[in-house]
Amino acid sequence: MAQRYVISGGRLIDPANGVDRVADLAISEGKVVAIDRLPRGFKTASRIDAGGHWVLPGLVDLRARVRPSQAEQTLVSVSELQAAVAGGVTTVVAAPEDGVLMDSSAAAHRLQQLSNDMGLCRVIPQGALTRQLAGTQLSEMAALQRAGCELMGNGRVPVGSQMMRNALDYAANFDLPVVVHCEVPGLAQGCIHEGATSLRLGLTGIPTAAEEAAVGRDLALARLTGAQVHFAGLSSADAVQLLSAAKKGGLPVTADVAIHHLLLSDEDITGFDANYHCRPPLRASSDRAALCKAVRNSVIEVICSDHSPKLGDSELLPFAETEPGIASVEILLLSLIHI
């Protein structure tokens, strides 16, 4: 891209500065230098006609899986970052998981280095809360923080109550936000929301109580430790209610929801279509309505893609045996418009 260029005729939407109108943007050395009127003597090497398009600040996706498929032996997949950029997402936060443990500063550096080299999209590592995500020993959170991890979490791996208490206490020392996944594993043996649809399809359900119980515990621990807890991927009205009450009581917690939980419900699962298999599962339409309302009322502050492309031949297996996950970063913004 040329050093200097103009994006002209697009609808400029910049909520932070309260801008929403058709405007020209002058860019120099990768920075916006003027809106509407070009600076005196600004010579443009090129002009991008954005008529009929939106011009937005790069989107930040708080939760997207950018891990490679088994074939690629790196920490970050080029194709997932390309998908992110195609969807207008310029920063993603990658949660630790098996294979991308993110429990050492070396690993955190390497992830950032690799994604910088790809030159597509910034990747911020979420540091592992416990070593190897095993839930038995705390990770060196302060070192991870220095290595660029702006928040901590244990991915989708559950953490025992005492360990979570220790981790939250410790994270609070460094003002590190801790991301928690909300599922009591013993109650979550199924693959679909427990309700009329799970009964009709004969698939084992996951009750919303699995989420409610986990949110309840971590709200109590947030209160006890004073840590800044972020609840990831809420799916149920019951959990929203708990969160809302805690926030009204002044607890400084935050939460996000995946785009598909705002758009879809278990009623959309027809013909055992494994594309709808995700975790937490798509809930009842009443849950979906409660989540949309929670976003409008800022009980939930963040919408993320929870982008999670399926690996391998998951279309060739029965529903319960497929890997959960929906690939959505590319359509995040597009989908939002439909809500």
Please report how close the Cβ of residue 85 comes to other proteins at its closest, in angstroms: 32
Site string for other proteins, 157-196 (x = CB under 8 A): --------------------------------------xx
- Rounded-to-10 torsion of CA 260, 15, 53, 124: -60
Subset of residues 259 to 288 that bind other proteins, contact rule: CB under 8 A? 267-272
69 binds other proteins (CB under 8 A): no
319 binds other proteins (CB under 8 A): yes
Residue 103 appears among annotated catalytic residues: no
Query: Per the structure block, which two tokens stand in for 183?
Result: 């599922």
Which residue in 24, 61, 266, 306 is the catalytic one?
306
CB-nearer residue toward other proteins: 41 or 271:
271
Using CA atoms, how far apart are residues 287 and 291, in angstroms rounded to an integer?
6
Among 119, 186, 202, 250, binds other proteins (CB under 8 A): 202
Please report how close the Cβ of residue 4 comes to other proteins at its closest, in angstroms: 53
Please report how close the Cβ of residue 87 comes to other proteins at its closest, in angstroms: 27
- CB distance 76 to 33 below 8 Å: no
β-pair partners for 230: 179, 254
CB-nearer residue toward other proteins: 197 or 305:
197
Subset of residues 203 to 242 that bind other proteins, contact rule: CB under 8 A? 203-204
β-pair partners for 23: 10
Q: Is 48 exposed, middle or buried (0-12, 13-18, 19+ CB in 10 A)?
A: middle
Among 19, 33, 317, 339, binds other proteins (CB under 8 A): 317
Q: Which residues contact 76 (CB under 8 A, 6 or more apart)?
A: 66, 67, 68, 94, 111, 114, 115, 118, 123
Q: Which residues contact 249 (CB under 8 A, 6 or more apart)?
A: none
Determine phi and psi for 151, rounding to 5 degrees.
-150, 160
Among 201, 242, 257, 264, binds other proteins (CB under 8 A): 201
36 binds other proteins (CB under 8 A): no
Strands (E), 259-313: 302-304
Q: Which residues bind other proteins (CB under 8 A)?
A: 195-197, 199-204, 267-272, 313, 315-321
The residues annotated with a catalytic role in the active site are 306
